[in-house]
Chain A
Amino acid sequence: GNSVTQMEGPVTLSEEAFLTINCTYTATGYPSLFWYVQYPGEGLQLLLKATKADDKGSNKGFEATYRKETTSFHLEKGSVQVSDSAVYFCALINSGYSTLTFGKGTMLLVSP
């Protein structure tokens, strides 16, 4: 079956630090990969996505590259802000299917 593994949080950083949140996956076929962000008390917002190997998704300074050889989709940002504090979810959908499989989420806390 499909599964997504994320690094455990919380990840605590100072403002302007470099961010990496690791995500690896197990799937049959060729999945599409997503990062969603959830701010406190809110629903999930799509942050970025990649649909095939070597694609790079990017949005709001965040980026992630679909690495098929390492089955990874790590999230990075060069300089985090306090407003980036949230829970980040890595997810996949297998080709031809529509069920999202989520990781457990990684909380990011950014201090001034």
Chain B
Amino acid sequence: EAEVAQSPRYKITEKSQAVAFWCDPISGHATLYWYRQILGQGPELLVQFQDESVVDDSQLPKDRFSAERLKGVDSTLKIQPAELGDSAMYLCASSLERTDTQYFGPGTRLTVL
């Protein structure tokens, strides 16, 4: 069964450093999502791509976060500089099209010291 791949699984960094997360969606899925999940909470959408275009980044803190999906396949989420409050699980999901069921990857657990 096809799965969403993410790396790294765990990342520890110091505040003010830069971090990057990678996601490879299920093959053929046009829509890709990045979510942030704070401990004890449900995931919240950061950014959504349709192919290589951003269709929703209203909740992305653009002063420090950036996301790209250059060829409409895999995607990278970057934080620069990281802050203590960025400690969370970062989840990637993909769907065949925008209104189809979303399938999640295993996530990247970020700890900022």
Q: Which residues of A contact B (CB under 8 A)?
A: 4, 34, 36, 41-46, 49, 89, 91, 93, 95-100, 102-105
A-B contacts, 9 listed (Cβ < 8 Å) = A4-B42, A42-B107, A43-B104, A43-B107, A44-B43, A93-B99, A95-B99, A104-B41, A105-B42
Question: Do A102 and B42 have beta carbons less than 8 Å apart?
Answer: yes
Given A43-B104, A44-B91, A99 and B99 contact (CB-CB distance below 8 Å): no
Chain A neighbourhood of B72, CB < 8 A: none
Question: Do A99 and B56 have beta carbons less than 8 Å apart?
Answer: yes
Q: Which of A34, A43, A98 contacts B105 (CB 8 A)?
A: A43
Q: Which of B20-72 contact A (CB under 8 A)?
A: 31, 40-45, 48, 56
**Minimum Cβ distance to chain A for residue B5 (Å):** 11
Given A42-B107, A43-B107, A98-B98, A89 and B48 contact (CB-CB distance below 8 Å): no
Q: Which residues of B contact A (CB under 8 A)?
A: 4, 6, 31, 40-45, 48, 56, 91, 93, 95, 98-99, 101-107, 109
Chain B neighbourhood of A45, CB < 8 A: 104
Question: Do B107 and A100 have beta carbons less than 8 Å apart?
Answer: no
**Minimum Cβ distance to chain A for residue B34 (Å):** 12
Separation of A34 and B58 alpha carbons in the complex (Å): 23
